[in-house]
Amino acid sequence: MIVGFLRTLLFILIFYYLFRFVGRYLLPFLLKKGVENMQKKQQEQFNRYSEGQKKREGEVTIKQNRKSQSSTPEPGTDSEYVDFEEIN
């Protein structure tokens, strides 16, 4: 009975110090690497976006959605309903 208690106490202490070690040394290292990777990805996205935005002064670009390129309009979309209120 006392051997089982000491064995359980030993396992608890081992897991406690193991998690303490992981939390103090390994977890910050892994978080730092994760943050660096995310920063790198964001920087790459920003660079790709900013390269696409560079235009000469006076240059005009018109982008159309594929829906607006269709030759026949969809039924019911040619007008817009406006609700008016009377003001006295």
pLDDT attached to residue 84? 84
Q: Please spell the DSSP secondary structure of the chain, one letter per residue.
A: -HHHHHHHHHHHHHHHHHHHHIIIIIHHHHHHHHHHHHHHHHHHHHHHHHHHH---TT-------TGGG-SSPPTT-S----------
User: Where are the chain's structural domains?
Assistant: 11-36
Per-residue pLDDT at 12 exceeds 80: yes
- Please choose, from the candidates 69, 70, 52, the residue with its C-alpha nearest in 3D space to the C-alpha of residue 61: 52
Average pLDDT, the chain: 83
Per-residue pLDDT at 71 exceeds 80: no
Please name the residue that has the structure tokens 């290292």: 29
